[in-house]
Structure formats: C-alpha cells, structure tokens
Structure 1
Amino acid sequence: MTKVQTVLDSSIVELLKGESIVSLITINSETKKPELSVVSWVLATDDGKQIKIAVGHKGSSINNIEADSFVTLGITGPESCYAVKGQASVSDIFSGTMKYRVITVDVEEVEDVMFYGGKLTALPKYEKTYDPQLAKKLDDEVYELLKK
C-alpha cells in the first residue's frame, strides 16, 4: 500500500520551482466528466502546502474550478509520478503582457502512483515554439506573480 502524505516533500517542492510539465485535472462544469489540461507555470510554496498555477484568464479550468473546487495534479518526477489532490481557488484577473489568473491548490493528499517496480530515470523536457524574447518576458512576469 502506498503511503499518502498531506504535504509535498522537499524534492517535489524543488522540482516545482522551475518550469515543470504538470497535468491539471478538473471536473468539467457542464459534462461533469474529468478534464485534463497541461500547465507549466507552476510554483510550490516552500512548506509544501500549496501549489500556484498561472493560466490564461479564459481557460476552461477556471470555470470548472469555480463550479467544483476539487482538483488532482499529476506530477512527473523526481524518480516517480505523483497524484496531488486538493481544493483549488481562482484569483481575480491580473493584467500584464497578457491576462492571467492564478489557481491556488491547497494540498490535501500526495500519493506516489508509479507502477510497482518502476522508477523514472529522466524528467520530461519541452521547448517553447514562440518568440524567445516574449517567452522570457512572460516567464519573468508570471513567476513574479506566483511568488506573491
């Protein structure tokens, strides 16, 4: 049986201090079925009790969370895969280079969900396919917002 924790351990907090690919699972406000989004502007608090996620202000996950605040985050790494469950809230709109909203997840459960006998040996990588200067500007702006 897998041990369930109530906060993120320090290795997951460290992973979520840079750009990470995280799956955000919400309940669709209309169909009531699970809906998956992939996000990368993610930051965990040092105490492992919250995860903040920046999204565009019109993302479908916003409506979903406003209708049902329970979410699951799928985190890949370090060395395993984790399901993080909790209650989420959505901020007002922040205007910068683009309009954002911040989803704050209060961590309730952290479970290692890697299959038996498996261990990750590398983290997923991605690249941004738009203007590198704009990407840096957006990243700097968003991470300043998430640190607040």
Structure 2
Amino acid sequence: MSNNNTTTLSPELVNLLQGEKIVSLVTMDAETKKPNLTIVSWLVAHEGGKVIKFALGHKGTSVTNIQANPEITLGVIGAGSCYSIRGNASISEIIEKTMKYRVVTVEVEEVEDIIFYGGQITSEPEYVKTYNEELAKKLDAEVYEMLKQ
C-alpha cells in the first residue's frame, strides 16, 4: 500500500458521504464479467469509516452484479479530491415501502486518493431531482431512515 491508501474513511469523507452526493458505483457484470458503471446518490457512510450503506431499486443490474461478485468500487469527488473506495458488499432482502428497495452494505477495505499529481477539487458535482418534489421528499425520508440503521 502506498502512503495515500488507508483502510477506513477519514472523518472528512464520512461527513461528506451523508447522502445527496453523486457517487460512482463500479461492479462486475454478472454475465460479461466486464466492469459496469452506474451512479448512486442514496448513500450514507457510518461513523468509524468502515461501513457505507446505499439503496438501489430491487431489480437493478447492480443488484444482480453484486450478488454474483460482492467486490465493488465507489468513486467519490469531494473533500478536495477524488477517492476510490474498494469494499465487499452484501445485499438485503427486498424492502417494500413506497418503492421496492435493496440496501447494500459495504465493508470498506481500501480508500485511495486518486487525484492526479497537483490536482485539487474546488467544487463538487451538483444535481437536481426532476420528478415530483413531494414524492422525492417521501422517498428520501424512507431511504435515509433505512440507511442510517
């Protein structure tokens, strides 16, 4: 391991990863065995920096991929840099609320600062939800209650 690798999230990253962030999720495709990239935003890092939980739709490709190979990578832009977070993921049973979800629990194994030499992030990516505002609030409240457990 080089000096910029750790086995836990820093307190700054834990604080950053409390939801409403654009985080890349890389899984291995269950059929082709090639990398698969998607984006998650319902994501919460837990105190201590060893566990991250995020929510997925119950039938998503990422669910199938993680069930076949639990090794995942999360890509995070924020806290002044870019990070690769590798870990081992487990998937919950289907949780039925307003939608059907699965909660993914990631045991953090390696955190690496991957920004290029001399680079520093000066602003984080932002987004807006383009669907019904009341529904968005309801879904967010449900999901974050599940993820913070």
Query: How far apart are residue 18 of structure 1 and its match?
Result: 2.9
Q: Hey, which bits of structure 1, 4+ residues long, moved more than 2 A?
A: none
Contact 1:65/1:90 (CA < 8 Å) preserved in 2? yes
Q: What residue is the counterpart of 1:105 in the other structure?
A: 106
Q: What residue is the counterpart of 2:31 in the other structure?
A: 30
Q: What residue is the counterpart of 1:127 in the other structure?
A: 128
Alignment of 1:45-84 (within 5 A): 45-84=46-85
Deviations 1:105-146 (A, max 9, x none): 100000000000000001110000000000000000100011
Q: What residue is the counterpart of 2:137 in the other structure?
A: 136
Query: How far apart are residue 16 of structure 1 and its match?
Result: 0.7
The number of residue pairs the alignment matches comes to: 148
RMSD: 0.8
Q: Which amino acid aligns with 1:137?
A: K
Query: How far apart are residue 2 of structure 1 and its match?
Result: 4.5
Contact 1:53/1:102 (CA < 8 Å) preserved in 2? yes
The 1-side partners of 2:21 and 2:14 are apart by: 11
Query: How far apart are residue 17 of structure 1 and its match?
Result: 1.1
Deviations 1:3-61 (A, max 9, x none): 21000001110011131110000000000000001000000001110100101000101
Q: What residue is the counterpart of 1:91 in the other structure?
A: 92
Give TM-score scaled by structure 1 length. Answer: 0.98
The 1-side partners of 2:80 and 2:60 are apart by: 30
The 2-side partners of 1:26 and 1:47 are apart by: 24
